[in-house]
């Protein structure tokens, strides 16, 4: 069985109630990073696949 990973913010062992974080503070730090835009999921826009999606059908 694999060993549990540490908290993604500080590396300490995670708290079962806050998993994967070790504390409410680390969970809040992570949330703040998401809200600030520090984390981003890369995306590539495909114009060819977006036909008819905008709702503007020319009427």
Q: Give the pLDDT confidence of 6-18 residue by residue, as tens digits.
A: 999 999 999 999 9
pLDDT (0 to 100) of residue 16:
94
Residue with the larger pLDDT of the pair 35 and 41 = 35
Are 5 and 20 in contact by the 8 Å Cβ rule? The answer is yes
pTM given for the model: 0.62
Q: Mean pLDDT score of the chain, rounded to an integer? A: 84
Mean pLDDT of 45-57: 64
For residues 17 and 15, give the distance between their C-alpha atoms in angstroms, rounded to a whole number. Answer: 5
pLDDT (0 to 100) of residue 3:
63
Strand positions, DSSP E, the chain: none
């Amino acid at each position: 069985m694999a060993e549990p990973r540490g908290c993604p913010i500080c590396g300490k062992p995670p708290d079962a109630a806050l998993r994967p974080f070790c504390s409410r503070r680390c969970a809040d730090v992570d949330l703040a990073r998401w809200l600030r835009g520090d984390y981003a999921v890369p995306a590539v826009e495909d114009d060819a696949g977006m036909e008819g999606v905008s709702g503007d059908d020319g009427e």
